[in-house]
Structure 1
Amino acid sequence: MRPETPPHWLHPSMIAEARAAQAEMAARLVMEDALPARIACLGGADVSATRFDPARRVFAAIVTLDATGAEAARATEARIADFPYIPGYLGFREAPALAACWARLAPKPDLLLVDGQGAAHPRGLGVACHLGLVLDVPTIGVAKSLLVGEASPGPEPGDTAPIVWKGREIGVALRTRRRASPLYISVGHRVSLATALRIVRAACDGRRLPPAIRAAHEAANAARRATIDPDRAG
């Protein structure tokens, strides 16, 4: 986490403060390419949680894949979320745990694919934006559903369509596998939309989700099983 990160960007005390923090962060996003010339290591970030869990437990994971696609590192974090489950504010539940993962991860990736929204968000600040700004690393939002907007890509792998909301393009829907629902790609931080689409498309290997996100999903679920049902964790 950057030392200058204001506390309320991660731990707001109320909804009004969270909304104000989102506006502050959205104004500081870099939505153009400001990333390494060569992406040697790609990362995936995901959080496993149940919205109705009264304990507010979250299980976060970040995984680094090397240039061959092999796993080079993973870090997980299990904690109680400070912020409740409120659609549009998931970054405040997930980013603190993901930031803890990042602090322990070695080697770190050059860019993170985040399972969740980027700028395709009502206030332009999904968890991919939130995390990218807090860590000051390039991030891309790779969501499995739309939060706002509409998009209808064709049926073939590689087909795309703009995500349009209130008359403007806020992301791109990408069909990665025939007969599978599309992915919804949007800018996180320090990556342009064109580059985000190119990276996600290149990362896919014939399955719906890129390997980095699949690996993070498996790691987060493993951390959850180890806490909730340790007898079945192995």
Structure 2
Amino acid sequence: MNQMLALQPFVLLYEGTQRDAKTGAGVVENSLANYHYCARFTLTGSTEIGRIELEIDKDGTGADLVVQIRQGMVPGSGNDGTLLKQVVVPKEFIPTSRTYWSIPVGLTGLTSGGQYWLVVVRAGDATNKLDWVGESSQDVNYPAYYRAGDSGAWTANNALHFRVYSGASGDLRHSIYAGTGYTTVEYSGEVISKVYRYLPPADGPDGGIRDVLTYNWSGEYLIGGDV
């Protein structure tokens, strides 16, 4: 990693252990062009969140995915609680086909057994947008809500698909550096197939470095990479 060689502060995030998840056979697409969405989870057996996965897909050119971790939300009364972390995933990184996309979080000092909220911010339009995939019914153990505006009460929604991970085990998945910059590592079998690098400018999340490096292999030998 360049940041390691340059003596920059960094955090490495691995596959980790699944701490909570809401998954299922549902394929309902909840458009982020229309609403903000949130879903509750319980952080079981850990005091940190390394990364999360959301089941999403992209229509058209998509839109940047803005994900928040919040504590103390009461959506039905419009209480948005406390923002703990916000992560931006560039639209260029997100595939068109439905997938569980890994998002670096790197939060520590949390409460084991505590309840937290995933919030995904409204973005895009009818043509270029993202969808958060979920079920066709609600789940009382994993409540989810939606809201069109930036304030006020949220409305109950059907369950949304996600996974929450922490711990240093398995393959390397992310590196966080320079505060809001990060890389995402993608594998094909046992070898690295792509590395995604995002480094936003100082004045906000738009623009910045949004590179996707595809590795080329000949058998077990790495022979090059293309951006």
Q: TM-score, normalised by structure 1?
A: 0.26
Q: Which one has more relative contact order, counting CA pairs under 8 Å at least 6 apart?
A: 2
Which has the higher Rg, Structure 1 or Structure 2? 2
Greater fraction of residues in strand = 2
Greater fraction of residues in helix = 1
Q: TM-score, normalised by structure 2?
A: 0.27
